Structure formats: structure tokens, C-alpha cells
Amino acid sequence: MMLVLQVTLVLAVLSQHAFPLTHGAVLGTSDVPTEGASPSFESEVSDSLIIENVDVNKLSEENLEDFLMALDEKFIGELDIEVGKHTLESVPSGRRTKRWIPLVARGAFAVGRGIFRALSRAKVSKSAGKITRQYNRRGDFKKAVSDFHRLKPTNVKRFNGRDGLTGLEGRVGKHTVKVRSSSSGKRPTIESYRTDKAARKIIRKVRYDKN
């Protein structure tokens, strides 16, 4: 008789827990999620976009713009330094060096500023773990190629694509720079991003338009 009572008691206890277990309850967690609970770790990771140790997906639009402008200053500075160094390397050595440097290197450390600071910023898009920063500039493909060469890229290679697309690709310090005859909206475009794929989270695109 005692055995029957014990079995009955065990079955009664199990029946009290049967409902939450059949509805996906996890051992060590509460049965009912609390209101406003934070998403799981996997969700946080997939929704994060870390640039310079900052999760840009958590920034407001205003803070994101300020952050990107600060990164633009850093990017432009890196371009200016690389262009300046490359220009000074072309200065001939000898007695006339002191007279040639002011002429050859005039504005050498301001090329990046001359190209990017004069641009009007367009939309910012986020996709596939990266940010695309877009700019508008007046001009055609000839102007885009001229701006490309002003950056003094090294290891320049020519490439071709579909529908008659042509372009050039080179390196400016840690950045890959490309100029193509057509891109989004069928406009000539200069594209720049860090050569290291692990750091390729910001792509800058300058769209050229005759209007």
C-alpha cells in the first residue's frame, strides 16, 4: 500500500512540470520570459558591426555620422601621408634638392583633403557586415581617372568588366583604390577600402556626375 502511495505522489509531482517542459523550457532558465529581456548572445553577435572597437549598430544616426566623420579625417590623413611620401621620393637628389622640394611637393600632403573634403556626402548603407560611405563629385570618367592618379597609387593594374566596363586598381598605403568607368547609376566611381580583409568594414565610394 505504501509503495502505491509513493508512486502516486511521484506521478503527481511529474505532472505539475509536464506542461512547461513540453513547451520548450530549458534547464536553468525561467519558464516565462520577462518583458524587455535582452536578446540571446547569438543574436547580439549577429546584429553587431564592430569598427574601431565601437558597435556602430548601437549608435544613433547623429552619433553614427559624427563617428564616420572622425573616421573620414583619419582616412584622409592616411592618404595625405602616403601621397606626400611618394611625392618626396620622386624629388631628385643633389645640390638642387632644396630648390626642387617646394615646387614638386607643394600640396603633396593635402591631396586627400583636396579630393574628399570637397565632396558632398550621400547616403550611408549597412549590409553584409560593412558600411558603405558614399560621396558625390562633379565630373566624368576622365576626371575620376585624374583623381585616381593624384593619389599616387602603386601596383596599378587595368581591369575590364561586362558591358564595356573598364578601370584601374592600385594601392595607397594600406588602402586598395579602384576607379571604374561605370557603377551604380551608371556613374564613374572611385572606390577605396582597407587592403586587409579583416579590416574591410568601411567602403568609400565617390560617384561622379556631370550635373
Grid coordinates representing 31? 519558464
Each residue of 142-163: pLDDT tens digit? 999 999 998 989 999 999 988 8
Task: State whether residue 180 is helix, strand or coil.
Answer: strand
- d(Cα 126, Cα 56) in Å, to the nearest integer? 10
Instruction: Give the span between the Cα atoms of 119 and 127, in whole angstroms.
Output: 23
| Single pTM value for the model | 0.68
Residues 122, 133: Cα–Cα separation, whole Å = 8
pLDDT at 4: 44
**Average per-residue pLDDT for the chain:** 74
Q: Which residues does 98 contact at the CB level (< 8 Å), separation at least 6?
A: none
* pLDDT tens, position by position, 99-112: 545 545 556 677 78
Which pLDDT score is estimated for 97?
52
Please give the helix or strand (H or E) that residue 151 lies within, else none: none
DSSP 153: -
Going 157 to 204 to 198 to 81, the CA torsion angle's sign is positive
State the amino acid at position 123 in one-letter form.
K
Q: Which residues of the chain have pLDDT under 50?
A: 2-46, 100, 103
